[in-house]
Amino acid sequence: MEQQILNKKQLLKATLVAIVLGALVLVTAVLPAEYGIDPTGAGKTLGFSKLYIENDDDTSETLAVTDENRPVIRLEKAGSGPDVAVPSEAFSPAPDTQYSERTDEVMVTVPAGKGIEYKINVLKYGKVKYEWLTNSGVLYFDFHGEVKQKIKPEQVYFESYTIAYSNNMVGTFLAPFEGKHGWYFRNSSDKDITVNLRLKGQYVL
């Protein structure tokens, strides 16, 4: 009987020791490494906190956007090169009357692996509000304008207003000169992307 009582005491002692050790490991290692919780500071001291990687609802979307290794867009990409002269028509005065204000909604499909342009005609100092949104995916775009010239040049002069990667853009535009203004969209994915473009202002399609 004494041997049986002794064994029960040893078992209870071993159980208590295991519980204490388990709690110690949980507090000093598991919580800091798995959940970023370090109530005692031991996780930081022992290096377990470095193993924690924050995981939130936006992680997958962030990785999808940033992990495509898109090339950095530099200043030199904005507009015509230095060898293309600014045409004299860019300095013409603004007309006394602008185009009548209108609104339009246009669907533009950018084929997989290709680029297309969509432009509107705006007089100098004409004002246009715009919004565009893709049905899925991110596009490279160059929002720019080309000066209307009396004689078609060998090299077209253009100015870039915004160059970026996005799936959505909203803004207000004041044309610096008369001509065609709009977007060059490039789709680097393997699926067609549709752009829903909304316009309001002084322009003609």
Q: What is the pLDDT of residues 154-196, one digit of tens each?
A: 889 999 999 999 999 999 999 999 999 999 999 999 999 999 9
Helices and strands: H and E segment counts in the chain: 3, 8
Using 50 as the pLDDT threshold, list the residues of the chain that sit under it. 52-53, 55-67
Question: What does the pLDDT read at residue 191?
Answer: 96
How is residue 126 annotated by DSSP? Answer: -
Question: What does the pLDDT read at residue 48?
Answer: 53
Name the residue among 93, 92, 99, 151 with its Cα closest to residue 120. 99
- Is the pTM higher than 0.85? The answer reads no
Question: What does the pLDDT read at residue 37?
Answer: 76
Domain boundaries, the chain: 2-54, 77-202
Domain 77-202 architecture: Sandwich (2.60)
The length of the chain, given as a count of residues: 205
Question: What are the tokens at 32?
Answer: 């800091």
Question: What are the tokens at 131?
Answer: 């919004």
Name the residue among 68, 30, 82, 19 with its Cα closest to residue 52. 30
Question: What does the pLDDT read at residue 59?
Answer: 37
Instruction: Return d(Cα 195, Cα 204) in angstroms, integer.
Output: 19
For residue 90, list its beta bridge partners: none
How many other β-carbons are positioned within 10 Å of the β-carbon of residue 1? 5
Question: What does the pLDDT read at residue 64?
Answer: 40
Residues 52, 56, 62, 68, CA torsion sign:
positive
How is residue 148 annotated by DSSP? Answer: -
